[in-house]
Structures are given as structure tokens and as C-alpha cells.
Amino acid sequence: MIGSLRGLVDQVQDGACVFDVNGVGYLVHCSRKTLDRLTAREGVQKLLVETRVSQDAITLFGFLDATERDAFLALIEVKTVGPQKALLVLSGLAPADLARAIATKERKRLADVKGLGAATATRIVDEPAMQKWAVGRAMPEADGIGAGEGLPTPEPAGPQADAVSALVNLGWKRPEAAAAVARGARRLGDDAALAALITEALKEMAPR
């Protein structure tokens, strides 16, 4: 199996590129975002590769980083979401944006991806494995300010404190994270698990 390729972009096609490795051209299917990044650079480049083997073909899918590859591998495990639809999703949403949309159940944001459709978007968002994948990867918008920032919030403890720390590690400001976790904890109850608290807090901080 091919795990990576190092070479030059010889030509770009619709949804794929021919990657020249020492004179041998490999047809590699990529997201639109990856193709744009490839063509914006010059010289030798490295592609991470996922090889899929079927009865009549060996197909290569390429990624410039492990984050996009991991998102691709998660997506193709969802029923009816094959490799091509996974690339459609990643052409419309960066992995961090995809994780945020799934964690906050923004079905419309996925449905708006060209060629995906509402039914597939709903299936992706509601898939438990995708929710689990998204929780640890959702990233805030650069200057996002939550509705609860600036309001006094009791110092969290236990799983709530861990949830706040996780969100801060993701880049959220501590007052905003603490307020969102506190609101989520009020809905879920005192015995809420850490993962549930994080998911609920991400819903709180989602743009409205």
C-alpha cells in the first residue's frame, strides 16, 4: 500500500492531480482545498496517501496534512458517505470547521456544501462516531466572543473544571469557556460526564 508520495504536481484535473514521482505519474484524488494549496506552491511536495482497493481499481486519495486525512477516514465510515463524498465535504469545510459544525449540530452548514445534500449532512452530524471525533477537534473562530463572557461564573470543579481546561486548550478564552460549561451543566445536571459537558458547551458557543 502507498502511504505517502514525494514529488511534483504535473497537472491538475477536476478533483484530482497527477503527481510526478521520479517520472512516474500517480493520479491522486484530493479535496479542492488541497488542490489549491498544491498549485499555490512550487517545487517538491509531500502528499499523505490513503489507498483504497476495489475489485476493479486501486484509487489514491491525497492530503497535505494528517488532520485532513483523519477527517477523511472518519467520514468514509459513515453509512452512504464514500470517499468521493468525503472529499466533497473537505472541499467545502476545513477539518476544524467540519468538527465545529458536527459538535454543534449545524446541519445546515454541512447541507450547504455543494453536492452533499441535506440527508447526507444529517447522517454525518447524527453519527455517534462523528460526534466523538468532533469533540476533541472543534476550534473556535478567531475572534469569537461568547454571550457569557464578562459575566461572573462560579469557579468550576471536577468534570466541569476539566471541560473548561479542554476548551481553553482548544483556544477559547477562559471566562467564555467557564460560562458555557456552567450553562451546559445546569441543563445536564451535576453528574454530567466530561464529554457531554464539552459537547454542550460547544453548542452554547456556536454562532447563532
Q: CA-based diameter of the chain, in Å?
A: 64
* Chain segment 118-173, per-residue pLDDT in tens: 999 999 998 988 888 887 665 444 333 333 333 344 445 578 888 888 777 777 77
pTM listed for this prediction: 0.67
Question: What's the pLDDT score for residue 93?
Answer: 92
Q: Who's near 78: CB < 8 A, 6+ residues apart?
A: 123, 124, 127, 129, 130
What residue has cell string 452554547? 204
The set of long-range contacts for 158-164, using a CB threshold of 8 Å and a minimum separation of 24, is: 159/192, 159/193, 159/194, 159/197, 160/185, 160/197, 162/194, 163/194, 163/197, 163/198, 163/201
The pLDDT value given to residue 40: 87
199 vs 25: which has the higher pLDDT: 25
